[in-house]
Amino acid sequence: MNVSPTPELDRFVQDKVESGLYNNASEVVREGLRLLKEHDEVRLKWREQIERGWLQAQAGPLVDGPTAVTEIRGQLKSRAKKRA
pLDDT tens, position by position, 45-55? 999 999 999 99
User: Domain boundaries in the chain?
Assistant: 7-83
Average pLDDT in the chain: 96
39-48: which pairs have CB atoms within 8 A and are 24 or more residues apart? none
Give the HSE-up count for residue 37: Cα atoms under 13 Å, Cβ half-sphere: 6
What tens digit of pLDDT does each residue of 34-76 get? Answer: 999 999 999 999 999 999 999 998 998 888 899 999 999 999 9
17 within 8 A of 24, measured Cβ to Cβ: yes
